[in-house]
Amino acid sequence: MIACFDIGGSAIKGAIAYSPEDIRPLPKVQTPLHDFDLFALAIERIAAEAGADPTRLIAISIAGVIDSETGIITCANIPCIDGRRLVADLSEKLRRPVLVANDADCFALSEAVVGAGRDHRIVFGVILGTGVGGGLVINGKIHEGTGGFAGEWGHGPVSATLAGNPPVSIPRYACGCGQIGCVDAVGAARGMERLHAHIHGKLLASTEIIAAWDAGDEAAARTIDVYIDVVSGPLAMTINIVGASIVPVGGGLANSHSLISRLDEAVRARILRRTDKPLVIPAELKIEPGLIGAGVLGLMELPK
């Protein structure tokens, strides 16, 4: 067994992983944001209190991107690790091997090994929630790509300027990454809300838009039509490129199975491969996919 962690800007969640199917969560603690010693200590304490072997490796899923060439992590919401060689620094502090992977990559790995992607060789895990992200797993291994950015289909100036039937003009919104017209700016939960406000002049939460659509509301149906049109094009192209045979979707918007089902139809109509089988589907692992992905990652590295 190993200790594994899912670390974000608000909490460090730990678990003990006995097998990919048996990962038992531990109580979570607040993430120390400004002191690296406290950050490392919090991890050490959780592992020690759970009785994990103090010499055995630990595996971490984190809301940041790690450059595999330099080892440097970019993690804006945890300042005490941002810009560090996180694996090297943590291994030294904790005196044991440390594995760290991006949370979207860990999500994709969890789905590939114990979720909806179990029988698939190429799994593209998609996040539609506070942001638009993704992770690519090939033959059971994370393909992080140069710089750690493989799978990041949410950024790049590609979002449609006309969408829906009949077409409505869509502004190219500024994105947090510095570009204009990213899928992230229209495809995340906030993006859906932005589209609704743009089309109908009314600000609703994404959950309200989806609930109204489910209840037969015409205005919400128009927004969903435009949203699906805007998001399905870039996703279909990404699937053509990576060749995935299954695309599990996680994040808040994936709680709506009707939304993911609409997205699946639109994507399958746009990819080059013809298939009648569901391709874009809700993720199977609803609870703690990052934690499970970290556990799977760590267990795979243990000597057999």
Query: Binding mask 177-196 vs Zn ion (x if CB under 5 A, - otherwise)?
Result: x-x--x-x------------
Using CA atoms, how far apart are residues 212 and 152, in angstroms rounded to an integer?
A: 30
Name the minimum Å distance from CB 141 to Zn ion. Answer: 27
If DSSP codes are grouped into helix, strand and coil, which group holds residue 298?
helix
- The residue among 71 and 171 lying less far from Zn ion, judged by its C-beta, is 171
Nearer to Zn ion, 158 or 211 (CB): 158
Smaller CB separation from Zn ion, 33 or 177: 177
Cα(258)–Cα(281) distance, integer angstroms: 10
C-alpha–C-alpha distance, residues 204 and 196, integer Å? 7
The residue (of 130 and 258) whose beta carbon lies closer to Zn ion is 130
CA atoms within 13 A on the CB side of 148: 21
Instruction: Report the SS3 class of residue 162.
Output: strand
Min separation Cβ 179 and Zn ion, Å: 5
Q: How far is the CB of 38 from Zn ion (least distance, A)?
A: 32
CB of 185 to Zn ion, least distance (A): 7
Question: Cβ neighbours of residue 160 under 8 Å, at least 6 residues apart?
Answer: 170, 229, 230, 233
Residues of this chain, 138-177, that bind Zn ion according to CB under 5 A: 155, 175, 177
Measured distance CA(195)–CA(162) in Å, rounded: 12
The distance of closest approach from Cβ of residue 146 to Zn ion in the complex, given in angstroms and rounded to an integer, is 18
Q: Least distance (Å) from Zn ion to the CB of residue 180? A: 9
- Which residues 6+ apart lie within 8 Å of 280 measured at CB? 126, 235, 247, 249, 260, 263, 264, 267, 268
Residues near Zn ion (CB under 5 A), total: 6
Q: For Zn ion, give the closer residue by CB, 117 or 234.
A: 234
Q: Which is nearer to Zn ion, 182 or 199 (CB)?
A: 182
Residue numbers at the binding site for Zn ion (CB under 5 A): 155, 175, 177, 179, 182, 184
